């Protein structure tokens, strides 16, 4: 059996945001691994950087021509920018691309579950939803989990072994929650490769 991976996310607003229209800027090579960094503009996005360079938080970019997919966040230089690890290719977003709390892989994988911790219990009735966006089209999309977050501070949810969530390559597991109370959140996805 393959070991599982932990994909980390963190923020203080919604679990998703729209990427702005300014051109993606090249920051250049940085860090101990000398990887390239680019600057993504997203007004008041709310995403936060991870505790260390070696345990980074991520954002999933949806709709971009050159930057789509799961990206590690290096830092949040201001409320409207994200520095992410990525090779640079010139691109000016249309303003319809999004940052997501989501995961996908180029290979088949299994979604094992997730956990969320809030800085304080939510005080608004809003559903947190995890859904699979199937690469085969909306007919195959499924809702995996839904929970009203009112009075909730922590959730740990693992998929039962006899009900596995088996995903095709390029399926997207997407978590959405509006978080109008603006609680700071950390979310871990647990996933395992099927190859």
Strands 142-148 vs 25-30: parallel, antiparallel or unpaired:
unpaired
pLDDT, residue 52, reads: 80
Residue 1 has pLDDT above 80, yes or no: no
Residue 132 has pLDDT above 90, yes or no: yes
pLDDT, residue 63, reads: 96
Residue 175 has pLDDT above 80, yes or no: yes
The mean pLDDT value for 126-154 works out to 98
pLDDT, residue 32, reads: 67
The mean pLDDT value for 50-72 works out to 93
pLDDT, residue 3, reads: 87
pTM: 0.94
Residue 186 has pLDDT above 90, yes or no: yes
For the chain, the average pLDDT equals 95
High-pLDDT (> 70) share of the chain, %: 98
pLDDT, residue 2, reads: 77
Residue 9 has pLDDT above 90, yes or no: yes
Residue 113 has pLDDT above 80, yes or no: yes
pLDDT in tens, 16-60: 999 999 999 999 998 667 899 999 999 999 999 988 878 899 999
Q: Which domains, ranges and CATH numbers included, belong to the chain? A: 16-100 (2.40.30), 102-193 (no CATH)
């Amino acid at each position: 059996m393959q070991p599982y991976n932990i994909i980390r996310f963190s923020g203080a607003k919604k679990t998703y945001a729209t990427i702005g229209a300014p051109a993606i800027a090249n920051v250049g090579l940085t860090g101990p691994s000398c990887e390239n960094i680019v600057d993504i503009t997203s007004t008041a996005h709310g995403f936060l950087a991870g505790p260390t360079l070696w345990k980074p938080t991520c954002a999933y970019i949806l709709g971009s021509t050159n930057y789509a997919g799961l990206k590690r966040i290096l830092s949040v230089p201001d409320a409207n920018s994200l520095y992410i690890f990525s090779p640079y290719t010139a691109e000016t977003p249309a303003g319809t691309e999004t940052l997501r709390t989501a995961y996908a892989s180029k290979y088949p994988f299994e979604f094992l579950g997730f956990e969320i911790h809030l800085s304080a219990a939510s005080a608004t009735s809003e559903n947190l939803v995890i859904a699979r966006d199937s690469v085969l089209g909306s007919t195959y999309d499924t809702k995996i989990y839904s929970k009203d977050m009112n009075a909730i501070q922590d959730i740990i949810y693992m998929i039962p072994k006899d009900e596995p969530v088996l995903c095709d390559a390029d399926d997207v597991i997407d978590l959405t929650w509006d978080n109008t109370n603006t609680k700071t959140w950390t979310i871990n996805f647990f996933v395992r490769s099927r190859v």
